[in-house]
Each structure stands twice: as C-alpha cells, then as structure tokens.
Amino acid sequence: MNVLTILLCIVLPPVAVAIKRGIGGDFVINLLLTLIMWLPGAIHAILVCNNSSSSSSATA
C-alpha cells in the first residue's frame, strides 16, 4: 500500500474503497460508516485497501 492510497483512505474513505474494490458491498458499507462518523469509515477503508493489496500481490 503506497502513501497516496493511505492518504486517500484517510481523507476520502469511500473513494479509496471504490478505486480498490469498485462500487459494491464494501463501498456501501464504507459509505454508511463514513456518514455515521468519519473515523470508522477511515478504519474500514484502510482495512479494505490493505487486504486488497495483499491479495493482489499474492496472486501476481
């Protein structure tokens, strides 16, 4: 996970999730968490982006 991805996860969590996983279940969950409160959305985005990068590097 690069620095730009981490910054995007902190500043705009739903956008980071949409870039990594697309518009789907993870995006909707992250959007709801971000609307409720910013911190849970940011934490979820970091977890989703971290899992996405580790699974894509394992298959490559």
Q: Give domain limits for the chain.
A: 3-51
Q: What is the mean pLDDT of residues 19-24?
A: 92
User: Do residues 30 and 47 touch, judged by C-beta distance below 8 A?
Assistant: no
Mean per-residue pLDDT of the chain: 87
When pLDDT is averaged across residues 32-48 and rounded to a whole number, the result is 94
Q: What is the pLDDT of residue 51?
A: 87
Confidence of residue 22 (pLDDT cuts 50, 70, 90): very high
Distance CA 48, CA 17 (A): 7
pLDDT of residue 2: 86
Which residue matches tokens 């970091």? 46
For the cut 90, the answer to whether the pLDDT of residue 15 exceeds it is yes
Q: How far apart are CA 58 and CA 34, in angstroms?
A: 29
CA dist 24 and 31 (Å) reads 11
